[in-house]
């Protein structure tokens, strides 16, 4: 069925600034990776925008351009980087501290990384109890802090000469929070900023500043952040796209690969036990019970949503699902995740699956930051705004319209993403029906 392009997509002219609150392991691995790709030292492996293709038309048409040649994305050469942190280390020092990339590679990129220095962050101890900040803003109220961030955004825009900006939250996971009265409307939120309401977390102040400046915002952590009526209202009013939350990497990524497969064959699951050890700063932050709770909620939700126990009570209604994260400094960023999965098949006979997943967490997250930055910028140039559900592919806890359940199955998410690109360009959507080949 042919579909009409919804809007003209403005060209990706000029530079795109990527602003990251939080310049730790993920951010520095992202920036260093982009620099390495620019210099021909590496390929952008793991990035759908750089390496992915999209099939157009019939299977017999043989049209599968690269995504970056199909939709007008900012070129990797046109990216500029800026950000904030609560420690003053530049991106070279922070990358060395994070210990993800080899020192030899960092030294080859040293000049570019040293040029990225963080602006002082907006911080509140109760939201990240394990870190002792040394590089932060002071303000008379949370509104004053938001205005300082707005000045930072404007200053960065002028200094760097970028034509457009996006903001991607790569800061630490904040302690668990549910949306309250102050998040129920933009009016209440702005009043809360004036009164420095304790329920307004730092990540929400960054998001507010971004949206006020018309800058798209993605949330890579499980924090509430833009997942509130107040900030979604602001995104709609300012016509800005937003997306979140919590990068889908590591163990949850594997869960969303495996669980749809088990369900497709109607295999039952009686238990899924996931345990992790990691020793980076993220692991230290998550060692705090309230920060872990935020992560736990995000990690638990995917499996229940995919398996749909309400539709398949015989298979999934008594599943026991447990997730544990242990801070173990000797491992640094080299995380290890174990999964023990108890499943059952024909006649209820038991089967077990064991996964031992060893990965550098940030290696999986860095290409997601790149893709989110480029796709959010595309969305804005195509006049899309509010929650961008088509970017669910990247998140553990995808944001949706209030009446919808999130789609967690990675294959459905990918189909949705590619169909959105086809729709943006007025190409036929692909349903995989395929009967026309047999007429």
Ligand X SMILES: NC(=O)c1ccc[n+]([C@@H]2O[C@H](COP(=O)([O-])OP(=O)(O)OC[C@H]3O[C@@H](n4cnc5c(N)ncnc54)[C@H](O)[C@@H]3O)[C@@H](O)[C@H]2O)c1
Residues in contact with ligand X by CB under 6 A are 21-26, 84-87, 98, 121-123, 128, 131, 170-173, 202, 220-221, 246-247, 249-250, 280-282, 285, 361-362, 364-365
The span from the first CA to the last CA of the chain, in angstroms, equals: 17
Q: Give me the phi and psi of 261, to 5 degrees please.
A: -65, -45
Say how far apart CA 146 and CA 184 lie, in whole Å: 19
Q: 119 or 230, CB closer to ligand X?
A: 119
Q: Is 103 exposed, middle or buried (0-12, 13-18, 19+ CB in 10 A)?
A: exposed
- 3-state class of 21 per DSSP? strand
The residue whose Cβ lies closest to ligand X is 24
Least Å distance, CB 152 to ligand X, is: 11
Element (H, E) at 271: strand 268-278
Say how far apart CA 142 and CA 205 lie, in whole Å: 7
Q: 269 or 323, CB closer to ligand X?
A: 323
Q: 25 or 315, CB closer to ligand X?
A: 25
DSSP 433: -
Q: Supply 18's token pair.
A: 């990527």
Least Å distance, CB 44 to ligand X, is: 17
Cα dihedral 53, 55, 56, 59 in deg (nearest 10): 150
Q: 167 or 319, CB closer to ligand X?
A: 167
Least Å distance, CB 128 to ligand X, is: 5
Count of residues in the chain: 439
Q: Furthest-apart CA pair in the chain: how many Å?
A: 72
Nearest Cα neighbor of 169 from 203, 127, 135, 215 is: 203
Say how far apart CA 369 and CA 47 lie, in whole Å: 9
Nearest Cα neighbor of 171 from 202, 146, 200, 150 is: 202
Least Å distance, CB 342 to ligand X, is: 26
Q: 84 or 316, CB closer to ligand X?
A: 84
Q: 43 or 132, CB closer to ligand X?
A: 132
Q: 388 or 419, CB closer to ligand X?
A: 388
Q: Supply 286's token pair.
A: 């998550």
Least Å distance, CB 225 to ligand X, is: 10
Q: 183 or 281, CB closer to ligand X?
A: 281
Least Å distance, CB 439 to ligand X, is: 46
> Cα dist. 287→88, 323, 329, 427 in Å?
23, 13, 11, 48
Least Å distance, CB 281 to ligand X, is: 3
Residue with tokens 């760097």: 160
Proportion of the chain in helix, strand, coil states, percent, rounded to 5: 45, 20, 35
Q: 125 or 352, CB closer to ligand X?
A: 125
Least Å distance, CB 397 to ligand X, is: 10
Least Å distance, CB 136 to ligand X, is: 8
């Amino acid at each position: 069925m042919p579909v009409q392009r919804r809007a003209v997509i403005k060209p990706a002219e000029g530079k795109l600034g990527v602003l990251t609150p939080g310049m730790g392991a993920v951010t520095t691995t992202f920036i260093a990776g982009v620099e390495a790709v620019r210099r021909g030292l590496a390929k952008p492996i793991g990035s759908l925008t750089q390496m992915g293709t999209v099939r157009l038309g019939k299977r017999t048409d043989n049209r599968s351009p690269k995504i970056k040649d199909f939709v007008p994305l900012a070129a990797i050469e046109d990216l500029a980087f800026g950000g904030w942190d609560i420690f003053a280390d530049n991106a070279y020092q922070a990358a060395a501290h994070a210990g993800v990339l080899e020192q030899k590679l960092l030294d080859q990129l040293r000049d570019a990384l040293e040029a990225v220095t963080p602006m002082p962050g907006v911080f509140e101890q109760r939201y990240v109890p394990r870190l002792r900040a040394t590089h932060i803003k002071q303000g008379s109220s949370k509104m004053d802090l938001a205005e300082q961030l707005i000045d930072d955004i404007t200053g960065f825009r002028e200094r760097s000469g970028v034509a457009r900006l996006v903001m991607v939250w790569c800061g630490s996971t904040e302690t668990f929070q549910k949306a309250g009265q102050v998040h129920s409307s933009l009016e209440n939120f702005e009043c809360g900023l004036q009164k420095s309401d304790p329920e307004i977390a730092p990540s929400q102040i960054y998001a507010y500043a971004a949206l006020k400046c018309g800058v798209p915002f993605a949330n890579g952590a499980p924090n509430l952040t833009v997942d509130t009526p107040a900030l979604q209202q602001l995104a709609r009013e300012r016509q800005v796209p937003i997306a979140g939350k919590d990068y889908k990497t590591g163990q949850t990524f594997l869960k969303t690969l495996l669980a749809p497969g088990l369900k497709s064959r109607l295999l039952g699951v009686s238990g899924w036990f996931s345990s992790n050890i990691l020793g980076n700063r993220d692991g230290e932050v998550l060692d705090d019970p309230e920060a872990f709770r935020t992560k736990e909620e995000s990690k638990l939700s995917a499996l229940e949503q995919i398996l749909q126990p309400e539709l398949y009570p015989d298979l999934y209604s008594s599943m026991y699902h447990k997730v544990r994260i242990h801070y173990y400094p000797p491992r640094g960023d080299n995380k290890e995740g174990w999964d023990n999965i108890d499943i059952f098949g024909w006649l209820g006979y038991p089967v077990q699956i064991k996964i031992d997943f060893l990965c550098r967490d940030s290696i999986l997250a860095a290409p997601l930051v790149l893709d989110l930055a480029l796709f959010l910028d595309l969305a804005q140039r195509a006049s899309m705004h509010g929650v961008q559900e088509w970017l669910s592919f990247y998140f553990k806890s995808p944001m949706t319209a209030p009446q919808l359940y999130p789609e967690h199955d990675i294959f459905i998410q990918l189909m949705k993403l590619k169909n959105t690109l086809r729709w943006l360009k007025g190409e036929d959507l692909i349903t995989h029906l395929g009967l026309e080949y047999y007429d």
